[in-house]
Amino acid sequence: MEKINCAQAKQIDLVDYLAFLGHHPQKTRNQDYWYLSPLREEKTPSFKVNRVKNIWFDHGSGKGGDLLSFGMLYFKCNTSELLYRLLTYQRSKALSFHPPQKPATGLPSSPGFAGEKKEQPDSKILILDTRPLIAKALTDYLDERRIPLAIAHSFCKEVDFLLYNKSYTAIGFQNDTGGYELRSRDFKGSSAPKAITFFDNNSGDVSVFEGFFNYLSFLSMPGHRQDPLSNFLILNSTAFFEKAQALMEQHSRVSLYLDQDKMGIQCTKLALSWDSEKFRDSSQFYRGQKDLNEWLQNQKPPVRINRGYRHHI
């Protein structure tokens, strides 16, 4: 898909898109999903999405509409900028397990796991178990992406999860609030709550990555000593880029290793507009590639992997 238009954007399921942004319903009643408003601070959920009509209404502000109106308010952007963001979302969902967009009445409840309400729809990923990475399908996938198992073991786990009443296993990378980014050859998704991952190594510098495979690729490159050279921030979604501005600005230097797509380039330009001395575009060496991991995969002969880095979770 090279572009997405407004009509296509309005067909994107709002509940799925809110989950992608890290927002999950506090309660459901038939086809109404109630959230703590993503647009403002509140303690009682008053933001409603009707999944059949695919519209939202924020009772606290009196505003409502379709996905386009929500996205422009959420990101404080115009229609054209939002369509670029939604194109990135559509591409990521193409690799994900995806249910029918508008199920019939009577959504089945999730099984009764500890801490989960039975009223939650079964579209929510439920983590069942975690352990060290051992499954051959997952280690082979890491090898395809040129990530040494020793480095992956330090930051990732093998995660069993439930989705639509079926169990799956994927590589899991944990964020700062306990949720997991989940990846395998056939799956790309995340469990709630969705958030950034920040490694504080007591440095005045921070290196910023969009996804954890790019972070692992960076650690796999030669030239990294056993003691980390900087702090590391993995956004896990560009939706968190502006929200992480204050954290990034606590550092004297911010090196940006973002994807070379519309959103990554746009975020880099935005950061340089904040402070061109503090923020640095460090993506020059993988220009022409989609991201740092694609650059790593395309090195011939393969990049000599650093196998001495250790950071245990």
237 shares a domain with 151: no
Residue 304 lies inside a defined structural domain of this protein: no
291 shares a domain with 223: yes
Among 93, 118, 142, the domain boundary falls at: 93
State whether residue 143 is helix, strand or coil.
Answer: helix
Residue 112 lies inside a defined structural domain of this protein: no
User: How many CA atoms, within 13 angstroms, populate the side-chain half-sphere of residue 3?
Assistant: 5
34 shares a domain with 85: yes
The pLDDT assigned to 312 comes to 35
Instruction: Please give the model's pTM, rounded to 2 decimal places.
Output: 0.61
User: Which among 176, 141, 180 is positioned nearest to 297, based on CA atoms?
Assistant: 141
Question: How many domains does one find in the chain?
Answer: 3
The range of the structural domain enclosing residue 154 comes to 126-190
Residue 221 lies inside a defined structural domain of this protein: yes
Residue 116 lies inside a defined structural domain of this protein: no
Give Cα 125 to chain centroid, integer Å.
14
- Is the Cβ–Cβ distance between 55 and 65 less than 8 Å? yes
User: Which among 12, 79, 7, 67 is positioned nearest to 38, based on CA atoms?
Assistant: 67
Average pLDDT, the chain: 82
**pLDDT tens figures, 60-96:** 888 999 999 999 998 888 888 888 888 767 665 543 4
Residue 102 lies inside a defined structural domain of this protein: no
Model confidence at 104, in pLDDT bands (50, 70, 90)? very low
Give the integer Cα–Cα distance in Å for 8 and 141: 32
Among 162, 190, 218, the domain boundary falls at: 190
Among 190, 218, 246, the domain boundary falls at: 190
Residue 38 lies inside a defined structural domain of this protein: yes
User: Which among 106, 103, 108, 110 is positioned nearest to 124, based on CA atoms?
Assistant: 110
Amino acid 290 reads K
